[in-house]
Structures are given as structure tokens and as C-alpha cells.
């Protein structure tokens, strides 16, 4: 799907007090940036930001970093931060392939992957954020007891992700094929896509993986 260009998006992102424009400079020092020693959670492919802003508001004792590749999407999250009063949120425009350039070994406590691009063509499988290729990156930046939490309405992508999790040598802490009718529904925070898909009747799949 072709993304619509948003004039001035890059400048608006750069000017936001929540944006980190040179993230490589903070590798190994993210808690220093936040000014505390609290856990750091990241969302890769944060989209328009509803999910992460909700978490940041509900959990002021956790530091959150949102990562989004496209300026035209991230600028919508930046707009939402205008009413955010906390100091536990930062935004980065970057490609997830560069995670190890930005985060040091064991620096991150949790990774959220919400409704990631399924890259449906088989030749693009390595680009999927739940491929073994990306698990290698997560293994480097996650703390020893760190977790990856994945949600999608795409059953094919979910089945692929389960296979890749096992192949990568990780294990599942929980797994459901219908999140909104499971024991995990109570504490679930929905994304924009999740709300849209669930209203259409699509079951939402979710798992939590660790080493």
C-alpha cells in the first residue's frame, strides 16, 4: 500500500520534544535520557501511536520508545503527544533493521509488535518482524528475562511467527487465537488497527515469547 506524503511531516517530527533525532548517540544510555533507572519497553512499527501513548499514560513507572519507519505515519503519533504530560515517552523514526545501532546489549526489557506488515510474498519472509532474522536482533538488545509480545489478525502471519519462534530457540509464555475472548482481554490495550479489525469480527491472535 502506497503511503500518502504529508507535507512538513519530517520537520514536525524533528521539532517535537518527544522525538529523538540522533538515536545512535543514546545507545547504551537510554535510561540516562529518561533520567531514571526504570524498565524500557519499545514498540516496533508504532503506527499512529494510540497503543503506546495509552501505555505511557497508564504506566508512568515504565519508559516507552516508539519506533516507526515512515514519517507520514509517525507524524500522527507526534500530533497525539500534544496533550501528553508525561516524561516517559520518546519517538524515533528509523528502520527496525538498525536496532543494534541504537540499543545496546540487554538494554530493552520488552518489545511490542502490533499488526506488523505481513510481507505476504515468500521471498520477503525475512523482512517480517517475527522472522528468525529479527529474533537475532531482539536476542541482542533484550535483557535476559526480556519478552516479545506479538499481536495480529493475520492467521497466516501468526502461524509463521509461531514456527519462527520455535526455530529461533525461543519459547512461548502464553498464546491465544482469540485475544478478546481470552483471559488476557482484561488488560489488553488496543491499537487503531486492532479496533478496526475486531469491529469487523476478525479474531485477534497474540503470544508472548521469551528465551
* Catalytic positions, written as ranges: 117
Q: Enter the C-alpha cell of residue 205.
A: 491472535
Kindly provide the b/e burial profile for residues 134-164, where b requires at least 16 CB atoms within 10 angstroms of the residue's own CB: bbebbbebbeeebbbbbbbbbeebbebbbeb
CA-wise closest residue to 138 among 148, 128, 151, 124: 148
Q: Are 181 and 129 in contact (CB under 8 A)?
A: no
CA distances to 14, 72, 84, 117, 130 from 18, rounded to whole Å, are 9, 16, 10, 25, 27
| List of residues 6+ apart from 196 with CB closer than 8 A | none
CA-wise closest residue to 142 among 103, 97, 107: 107
- E strand or H helix that includes residue 41: strand 40-44
Q: Are 189 and 54 in contact (CB under 8 A)?
A: yes
Amino acid at each position: 500500500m502506497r503511503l500518502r506524503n504529508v507535507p512538513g511531516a519530517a520537520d514536525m517530527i524533528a521539532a517535537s520534544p518527544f522525538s529523538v533525532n540522533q538515536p545512535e548517540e543514546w545507545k547504551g544510555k537510554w535510561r540516562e535520557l529518561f533520567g531514571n533507572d526504570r524498565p524500557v519497553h519499545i514498540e516496533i512499527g508504532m503506527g499512529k501511536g494510540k497503543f503506546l501513548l495509552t501505555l505511557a499514560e497508564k504506566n508512568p513507572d515504565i519508559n516507552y520508545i516508539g519506533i516507526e519507519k515512515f514519517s507520514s505515519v509517525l507524524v500522527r503519533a507526534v500530533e497525539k503527544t500534544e496533550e501528553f504530560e508525561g516524561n516517559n515517552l520518546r519517538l524515533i523514526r528509523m528502520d527496525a533493521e538498525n536496532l543494534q545501532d541504537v540499543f545496546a546489549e540487554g538494554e530493552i526489557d520488552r518489545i511490542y509488535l502490533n499488526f506488523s506488515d505481513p510481507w505476504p510474498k515468500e521471498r520477503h519472509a525475512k523482512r517480517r518482524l517475527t522472522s528468525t532474522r529479527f529474533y537475532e536482533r531482539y536476542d541482542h538488545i533484550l535483557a535476559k528475562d526480556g519478552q516479545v509480545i506479538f499481536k495480529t489478525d493475520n492467521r497466516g502471519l501468526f502461524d509463521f511467527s509461531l514456527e519462527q519462534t520455535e526455530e529461533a530457540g525461543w519459547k512461548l509464555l502464553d498464546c491465544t487465537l482469540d485475544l478478546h475472548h481470552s483471559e488476557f482481554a482484561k488488560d489488553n490495550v488496543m491499537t487503531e488497527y486492532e479496533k478496526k479489525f475486531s469491529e469487523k469480527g476478525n479474531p485477534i491472535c497474540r503470544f508472548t515469547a521469551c528465551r
